[in-house]
Amino acid sequence: MFDANLIHDQQYLTVGEGEAAREIAYIARSQPDQATGPTLVWLSGYRSDMSGSKAVELDKFAAENGLACVRLDYSGHGISGGKFVDGTISRWLEEALAVILHIAPERILVVGSSMGGWIALRLAQELAKRQDGPKLDGMVLIAPAPDFTADLIEPNLTKKEIASLAKRGYFEERSAYSPEPNIYTRALMEDGRDNSVLKGIIETGCPVHILQGMKDADVPYQHAMKLMEHLPADDVVLTFVRDGDHRLSRPQDIERMLAAVKGLIH
């Protein structure tokens, strides 16, 4: 049950132009006057949204600690507009960046889950190119899945899935979290290669804390170790949760997430 003070009116921001325009829903908790500290930014995973337990608990943590917090639904997710099948990493990154720049915090601490971890890493790269963006204070990556399309999906495609991609432009896969199947499009796969981050040094310019379950059936823990190799310039902590799954949303997992966030706030 939601605490009454956690319920905010969602707002909408139009991202893109013409036929590419879509209404992106976000919820922004403002910071109390005179308060200091970064704005927490939540980035969800593939087919997840800002109403998930980790996102809500992060918002609650922000309220209890006098911090601002921003959550959003990518297009085709949650209550945002747009079609899910039109989604790509570039498109969802554009939306996250647009919402952040619209709210215009001075400093942010990004918490990215699964695919949200990939988008967080790309966000760091994009912010580094800009003069008008916020300072990135830190990152907490939960079961991060950078380059999952090329590294985790494509090598395991069946002949039937390859044929479906070629013929229909997508393939479906049974979801462990929803009665509706996961849909992976050719556009997502191709765009994933364009957004690859595991091909050289990733410079986030901030401390990073990675939380990874060792019983994660979707993103093997070896993937987190591979990511570490591409973050040699940053202060990185990798925490393995021996009995943790992909979601890491049990009470003890959420405590770990919030402790990691707290450890990066200064």
pLDDT at 4: 37
Q: What is the CATH number of the domain that holds 76?
A: 3.40.50.1820
Residue 139, in any domain of the structure: yes
pLDDT at 226: 97
User: Of 112, 91, 102, which is closest to residue 48 (Cα–Cα)?
Assistant: 112
In DSSP terms, 71 is beta-bridged to 27, 42
145: pLDDT strictly greater than 60: yes
User: Of 102, 101, 112, 94, which is closest to residue 22 (Cα–Cα)?
Assistant: 94
Give 192-251 pLDDT, tens digit per residue: 999 999 999 999 999 999 999 999 999 999 999 999 999 998 899 999 999 999 999 999
Amino acid at 12: Y
Residue 8, in any domain of the structure: yes
Number of domains, the chain: 1
Q: Which tokens is 125 given?
A: 């790269």
Residue 187, in any domain of the structure: no
119: pLDDT strictly greater than 90: yes
Residue 242, in any domain of the structure: yes
Amino acid at 260: A
Is residue 170 within 8 Å of 84, Cβ to Cβ?
A: no
Residue 166, in any domain of the structure: no
Rounded Cα–Cα distance for residues 90 and 113 (Å) = 17
Task: Report DSSP letters for 29-75, one per residue.
Answer: EPPPTT--SPEEEEE--TT--TTSHHHHHHHHHHHHTT--EEEE--T
Main-chain phi, psi angles of 141, to 5 degrees: -115, 120
Rounded Cα–Cα distance for residues 235 and 215 (Å) = 25
Domain of residue 77, residue span: 4-147+205-264
Is residue 83 within 8 Å of 90, Cβ to Cβ?
A: no
Residue 236, in any domain of the structure: yes
pTM score:
0.94
Q: Which tokens is 65 given?
A: 């600690």
The arithmetic mean of pLDDT across residues 4-19, rounded, is 80
Residue 188, in any domain of the structure: no
Amino acid at 75: S
In DSSP terms, 212 is beta-bridged to 240
